[in-house]
Structure 1
Amino acid sequence: MNKYKETFGIDISKDVFDVHGNKSGHNQYKNDESGFKMFLKELPINSLVVMEATGYYHYRLAQYLYKNGVIVSVVNPLSVKRFIQMKLAKVKTDKSDSKAICEYALINEVPLYNALTDVQIECLQLFRLMDVYIKHRTATKNKLHGEEVLGIPSKNVYRSLKRNKKHLDKEIEAIELKLLSLVKQDGQEQLTLLTSVPGIGIKTALFLVVITDGFTKFETSSQLCSYVGITPTIRESGSSIRGRSRISKVGNKKLRNLLFLCSFNACKHNKACRELYQRIVNKGKSKKVALIAVGNKLLKQCFAIAKSGRPYDENHVSVLPR
């Protein structure tokens, strides 16, 4: 039985958000401060508000409601999509989606939302900006290489590209320093512990501390691996379907990519990861599959070390919950 007075499903877009209550039905509000206040004013006490994780759009409303004492849940949009598909729904509108989210929340146990701290908010924004600059710098490097291959590059073009790359280098360095200073305020000890793991660099350690809220959001390493989306999925059915195992990819894409890059170094310098990589490759599996498994192993090592408070020891076997 639902323990809340009323459950509301929200489908949010750039300008408006549609709301469906299991008792009050449909309504629509502006996606701004005035709309938030109006919705809050009409919201019954002890209600549950459920919305999909939709990047920037859901974030402001979730933070606003949470800070005003409302019970909020932010669910994976893929879960809701599968739920709608199972119902064989033929209509897809913002109104129907809000109703589907409400119905999903009524029959499933949804995770409760914890608002991000001001430090976490700034760190995540800095990470996103740094990603943009890194992509621009890579494109600039590729363009520089292309001009050099021509043999007779234009001096004006070449100088402009060099200036742009130099500027991006400075911006990225400044962001990294700012991130380090922010996380050090509360997470210096965890940063030191995490970077003791061979293969884990400071950037990955910073991101891990931020998105896990100092590893307080997860009780087991399996929960963290599922959140990141670096757990394997099996595709088998009867005798005819024997699909290749893949990672789920339902999770934090950025951290998944960081761990994949870290796995290259871990295969060289991390004893447990090196042995795991060699064992998988010797079984005839692809190197990519082996590297993904190493990324999973690295994440579990980080979890064990952060929870135990002890630095990496290649001879220590963790007994923490998996």
Structure 2
Amino acid sequence: MNKYKETFGVDISKDVFDVYGTLSGHNQYKNDESGFVKFLKELPDTALVVMEATGYYHYRLAQFLYKNKIVVSVVNPLSIKRFIQMKLAKVKTDKSDAKSICDYALINAVPIYNALTDVQSECLQLFRLLDVYLKHRTATKNKLHGEETLGIPSRYVYRSLKRNKKHLDKEISAIELKLLSLIKQEQQEQLTLLRTVPGIGQKTALFLIVITDGFSKFEHAAQLCSYVGITPTIRESGSSVKGRSRISKVGNRKLRNLLFLCSFNACKHNKACRELYERIVNKGKSKKVALIAVANKLIKQCFAIAKSGRAYDETYVSVLLK
């Protein structure tokens, strides 16, 4: 039974957000401070407000409501999409989406939102910017290589690309230093512990701490593995459909890529990961499958160490992961 007096589904966009309440029906508000305040005044006691994770747009409203002691839930947009498809809905508008989010919350257990601290918020913004700059730098490097293969590259183009790469190198280094200083303010001990895991680099350790809120957002390592998107999915039906097992990829792509890169180093220096890799390859599985299993193992090791508060130890960590 729903313990809230009224449940609200929110479909939010750049300029407005549509709201559908179980008792009050549909309303629309401006996506700014005045709209937030107006919506807050109309909320009853013990209300639940549910919205999709829509990047930048949902964040301000979720933070505002949380700080005003309103129970908020931010759900995966893919879950809402699948729910709407299941209903075979023929109409798709902001109003109908708000109602669908409300309906979803009434029949499903939705996660309760916990606001980010100022440090966590800044770290996430820095990681997004870092990701953008890294992609730009890779594109610049590729362009430089392309110009060089011409044999007679334009001096102006070549120098411009060199200046751009130099600028990006400088910005990337500055962001990484800022991230490190912010994490050290609140999670220095945890950062030090994670760095003891063979194969886990500083960037991956920083990212793990930021997106897991110091591993407090997850109760079990399996939940974190699912969030990252490296848990296997199985496609089998009757006797005719025997699909290959694949990773779900429904999760944090950036962290998944970082952990996959870490798995190469872990296979050399992390005893448990090396043994796992060799065991899977010896069974005839592909090296990629083995590396994904190693990435999964790394997550479990990091989770165990973060929760126990003890540095990595080859003999102790195996006990933690049982």
TM range (shorter): over 0.9
Deviation for aligned residue 1:315: 2.4
3-state secondary structure, aligned to 1:285: coil
What's 1:97 paired with? 97
Instruction: Please name the residue that 1:186 is paired with.
Output: 186
Question: What residue is the counterpart of 2:296 in the other structure?
Answer: 296
Whether contact under 8 Å (1:52, 1:77) holds in the other structure is yes
**How many Å separate the matches in 1 of 2:319 and 2:73?**
32
The yes-or-no answer on 1:6 pairing with 2:3 is no
Which ranges of structure 1 fall in alignment gaps of 5 or more residues? none
Secondary structure at the aligned position of 2:113 is classed as: coil
Is 1:245 matched with 2:250?
Answer: no
Summarize deviations over 1:281-304 as a string: whole Å, max 9, x none. 222222222211111110000000
Corresponding residue for residue 59 of structure 1? 59
SS in 2 for 1:51: strand
Contact 1:220 1:321 in 2 (8 A): no
- Deviations 1:88-142, CA, capped at 9 Å, x for gaps: 1111111111111101101111110000000011001111111111111111111
1:321 Cα shift?
6.9
C-alpha contact (below 8 Å) 1:228/1:255 kept by paired residues: yes
Are 1:169 and 2:176 matched, yes or no? no
Secondary structure at the residue paired with 2:284? coil
Structure 2 portions without partners, runs of 5+? none
Aligned to 1:18: 18
- Deviation per CA, 1:19-62, whole angstroms, max 9, x where unpaired? 11111111111111111111001011110000011111111111
Contact between 1:304 and 1:318, CA under 8 Å: does it hold in 2? no
Alignment partners' CA distance in 2, 1:288 and 1:27: 50
State the Cα deviation string for residues 246-278 of structure 1 (Å, max 9, x = none): 111222121111111111111121111111112
TM-score of the two chains, using structure 1 as the length reference: 0.97
- 1:131-146 superposed matches below 5 A: 131-146=131-146
Q: 2:152 aligned with 1:158, yes or no?
A: no
Amino acid at match of 2:149: V
- Other-structure match for 1:47: 47
Per-residue deviation, 1:181 = 0.2
Q: How much has 1:185 moved relative to structure 2? A: 0.5
CA RMSD of aligned residues (A): 1.3
Matching of residues 159-238 of structure 1 within 5 Å: 159-238=159-238
Q: How does 1:233-312 map onto structure 2 within 5 Å?
A: 233-312=233-312
Measured after TM superposition, the shift of residue 320 of structure 1 is 3.9
- Cα-to-partner distance string for 1:188-208 (whole Å, 9 max, x where unaligned): 111111111111110010011
